[in-house]
Amino acid sequence: MSVAGFIRDILPLLWSGIISGCLYGVGALGLVMVFKSSRVVNFSHGNLACLGAFVVYGFSSGSLLSLSWGSAVALALGIACAVAVASYALIAPIVFKSDLASTIATLGVGLVLQGAVQLVFGADIVNLDLPVPRFGFSLGAVRISSYDLAVLAVTIAIVAGLFVIIERTKLGVAFRAVSTNPFACEVCGLNLRSVHLFSWLAGAVLGLVAALLIVPTTFLSSTTVPSFMLQAFTAAVVGGFSSLPGAAVGGILVGIAMNLFSFYVSPEFMNTFLLGVILLTLNFFPNGLLERAIGGRV
Amino acid sequence: MAVSELAHGTKAGVSARNGNVDAVRLSVLALVAALALLPLLAGGFLLYSLSLCFANALAVLSVSMLVRYGGEVSIGHSFFVALGAYAVAIVEHRLGLSIAVSLPLAVLLGAGSGFVFAFPSRRLSGIYLAVATMALALALPEILIGFEKFTGGFEGLYIAQDLIPGVSKALQRYYVALVVLVVVCLALAHFRKSAQGLALLMAQAQPRAAEAMGITRSWARVSIFTLSAALASLAGAMTGFASSTVSPNSFTFFSGVFLLVGSVVSLNRLSLPAALVGGAFITLVPTYLAKAGDWVPILYGVALVVVTLAANAGDLRRFLPRWRGR
């Protein structure tokens, strides 16, 4: 392989890796927020996002109703938030008792949501596009499309918004306190439940946004979004599972690594590759790749 | 004597040691006898689905064992089950040898891959292992389809060779699976009382005390996962033998989750009746509710949530006003 050819290949690969990595990061942020505050790994994350994406499809395509894309998204956000509240309410009694039992319960919630999607929308494969004007331009070897810019803009807006909430608001201070020392928070009279609820709601919104943005690159079916969440889980593990910047950076690293792997090695073994990434990260960087660089701070 | 020890696997057997332990022993004995005599009365499809129940009960036991002794959740045990099933199929396909040879091989392969898989997360909390098993469950289908040369791709492979010559296929499947299940339950009851079993329980309940006695947490984690994966692989070998075929259809992402459902529904117990309940739940429900296909995940999800909440009911009472202050 010539050097020029390598450079011609690598730049677009890196760029599209960064774009999809942003989405993995957004998905991972939801997982990490829930884990940091309530110590539960939310296995229903992907299924809830899938349900949300299908609601948008159902209400905007005419299969249930034909609303505008914006109002369908608003409706889907409402439903996703309601389901997030309901699933937190369900595990609320055991959330302080056992991480393990609550994690198993989220799997149950995920199964129910999965079944609901299959019941209502069937096993069909559908397309769901973003309503952004189509344009694109080339920058050197890299072709940049309107979709890429939309993803970047949404990701930056979300990360900035989350940063402002967590660093500057009372709720954010409470969130940081709860994720550092829940016992001390309870002693100080802080309501742990409301902080948990905040993180579960944020998780639902982040998951839905990630799903809506990832679906245009592939297609929407009852299995694609839940398995897309494996990328989010990997990103969270690479970032250390309890660090928000780690999740974002982990997402981008996973996105780039997956692109390189599928281009140079094989596109058919992506999940196996992610399994390898998870195992290697757990072995050599148990607290995430970024542990030394930024520590455990939010 | 040996069969009566099956009762020890249940909590009831332990707590009621002075009371009605004999009743428990006798009922388990009666259950085994009834299952052993059943082929005289029934046949065909019922025997076939019961053989699958036994094989799935073994797989459920492997997940329960991990929860009980390791305090860890796995949704990827379908990987080890598939490993065992494909080991039997591939050994027959390539070498023409029966399950008598491939069964020990399957167990060894399961133990080896379980060790390799559990080793990286040995120092971390069970949450990380659960996430890694999710990747394992999702990687399984693409591995089965990707290595088409060995696994037969989408179509899978057939398992045709008998273990005991001269016995009809249906009876053979049924009794081999039943005998393996009973032997495994006996072994688990024995393991509960053995030094190794107690060491693992201690490492989970009192990590510091265990460490003081030379049992490190990471050693306990890796060894229980290795044992559990070996058992799952054995279960897979029995699944392959009992159904005479292996294909990627039986090893999707959800089969791993369903094994956990079976384990939770049987309250993670390691006794024969509990294993049968778990195995029957995940085998018979999809068979008899085949028309209501999409309701199966919902039913399983509800079962998972309800049983998990009920099993932690001690904590739920706090939320009912009338229990306050007692």
Question: Inter-chain contact A99–B311, Cβ cutoff 8 Å?
Answer: no
Report whether A161 contacts A151 (CB < 8 A). Answer: no
Instruction: Name which of B264, B220, B287 is nearest B60 in CA terms.
Output: B264
Tell me the pLDDT tens digit for each residue of A167-191: 888 888 888 888 888 888 888 888 8
Confidence category of residue A63, pLDDT binned at 50, 70, 90: confident
Long-range contacts of A84-88 (CB under 8 A, 24+ apart): A84/A48, A84/A200, A84/A201, A84/A203, A84/A204, A85/A197, A85/A200, A85/A201, A87/A44, A87/A48, A87/A200, A88/A38, A88/A196, A88/A197, A88/A200
The answer, yes or no, to whether residue B232 has pLDDT greater than 70, is yes
Select the residue of A115, A271, A286 nearest B135 (Cβ to Cβ). A271
| CA B108/CA A74 separation, integer angstroms | 53
pLDDT of residue B3: 44
pLDDT of residue B312: 80
Report whether B248 contacts B154 (CB < 8 A). Answer: yes
Best interface-test mutation with B: which of A193, A228, A275 has the largest number of B CBs within 10 A? Answer: A275
Between B116 and A222, whose confidence is greater? B116
The answer, yes or no, to whether residue A36 has pLDDT greater than 60, is yes
Gap from B177 CA to chain A (nearest CA, Å): 29
Tell me the pLDDT tens digit for each residue of B166-210: 778 888 888 889 999 999 999 999 998 898 888 888 888 888 888
Gap from A145 CA to chain B (nearest CA, Å): 31
Q: For residue A138, which amino acid is it?
A: S
**Which chain A residues contact residue B132 at CB under 8 A?**
237, 275, 278-279, 282
B92 touches chain A (CB under 8 A): no
Enter the tokens of residue A220. Answer: 């929407």
B144 touches chain A (CB under 8 A): no
The answer, yes or no, to whether residue A246 has pLDDT greater than 90, is no
Instruction: Evaluate the CA torsion angle A144, A148, A154, A156 in order and state its sign.
Output: negative
The interface residues of chain B toward chain A in range 234-263, judged by CB-CB distance below 8 A, are 253, 257, 260-261
- Beta-bridge mates of residue A220: A126
Enter the tokens of residue A163. Answer: 């940063």
B127 touches chain A (CB under 8 A): yes
Question: Inter-chain contact A97–B315, Cβ cutoff 8 Å?
Answer: yes
The answer, yes or no, to whether residue A296 has pLDDT greater than 80, is no
Tell me the pLDDT tens digit for each residue of A74-98: 999 999 999 999 999 988 888 887 7
**Which chain A residues contact residue B146 at CB under 8 A?**
266, 268-269, 272
**Which chain B residues contact residue A119 at CB under 8 A?**
294-295, 298
Burial label, B88 (beta-carbon count in 10 A; 0-12, 13-18, 19+): buried
Select the residue of B308, B315, B318 nearest A104 (Cβ to Cβ). B308
∠ Cα A122 A123 A124 (to 5°): 95
| CA B226/CA B251 separation, integer angstroms | 20
Residue of B nearest to A118 (CA): B294
Question: Inter-chain contact A241–B316, Cβ cutoff 8 Å?
Answer: no
| CA A161/CA A244 separation, integer angstroms | 13
DSSP symbol at A296: T
Q: For residue A156, which amino acid is it?
A: I
The answer, yes or no, to whether residue B291 has pLDDT greater than 90, is no
Best interface-test mutation with B: which of A42, A106, A278 has the largest number of B CBs within 10 A? Answer: A278
The answer, yes or no, to whether residue B20 has pLDDT greater than 90, is no
Question: Inter-chain contact B73–A100, Cβ cutoff 8 Å?
Answer: yes
Predicted ipTM beyond 0.90: no
Enter the tokens of residue A4. Answer: 């020029």
**Which chain A residues contact residue B305 at CB under 8 A?**
90, 105, 108-109, 112
Question: Inter-chain contact B134–A110, Cβ cutoff 8 Å?
Answer: no
- Beta-bridge mates of residue B245: B158
B213 touches chain A (CB under 8 A): no
Residue of B nearest to A43 (CA): B131
Between B145 and B11, whose confidence is greater? B145
Question: Inter-chain contact B143–A94, Cβ cutoff 8 Å?
Answer: no
Confidence category of residue B324, pLDDT binned at 50, 70, 90: very low
Name the CA radius of gyration of chain B, rounded: 20
pLDDT of residue B9: 47
Q: What is the DSSP string of B175-208?
A: HHHHHHHHHHHHHHHHHHHSHHHHHHHHHHH-HH
Interstrand relation of B245-246 and B157-158 (parallel, antiparallel or unpaired): antiparallel
Enter the tokens of residue B238. Answer: 């029995």
Tell me the pLDDT tens digit for each residue of A129-138: 777 777 878 7
Please state the rounded mean pLDDT for residues A271-283. Answer: 90
| CA A202/CA B205 separation, integer angstroms | 35
Report whether A113 contacts A47 (CB < 8 A). Answer: yes
pLDDT of residue A22: 92
Question: Inter-chain contact A107–B75, Cβ cutoff 8 Å?
Answer: yes
Enter the tokens of residue A258. Answer: 């997956």
pLDDT of residue B319: 55
Gap from A94 CA to chain B (nearest CA, Å): 7
The answer, yes or no, to whether residue B65 has pLDDT greater than 70, is yes
Which residues, in sequence order, are CB contacts of B109 under 8 Å at separation 6+?
A: B83, B84, B87, B233
**Which chain A residues contact residue B303 at CB under 8 A?**
108
DSSP 3-state of A123:
coil
The answer, yes or no, to whether residue B8 has pLDDT greater than 50, is no
| CA B291/CA B314 separation, integer angstroms | 38
Select the residue of B117, B135, B316 nearest A93 (Cβ to Cβ). B316
Which residues, in sequence order, are CB contacts of A113 under 8 Å at separation 6+?
A: A44, A47, A48, A50, A51, A83, B301
B123 touches chain A (CB under 8 A): yes
Residue A144 Ramachandran class (φ > 0 left, ψ -120 to 50 alpha, else beta): beta
**Which chain A residues contact residue B295 at CB under 8 A?**
115, 119
The answer, yes or no, to whether residue B84 has pLDDT greater than 90, is yes
Select the residue of A118, A278, A283 nearest B131 (Cβ to Cβ). A278
| Distance set, CA B34 to CA A47, A151, B27, B40, B142 (Å) | 42, 63, 10, 10, 41
The answer, yes or no, to whether residue B7 has pLDDT greater than 90, is no
Enter the tokens of residue B189. Answer: 């009851």
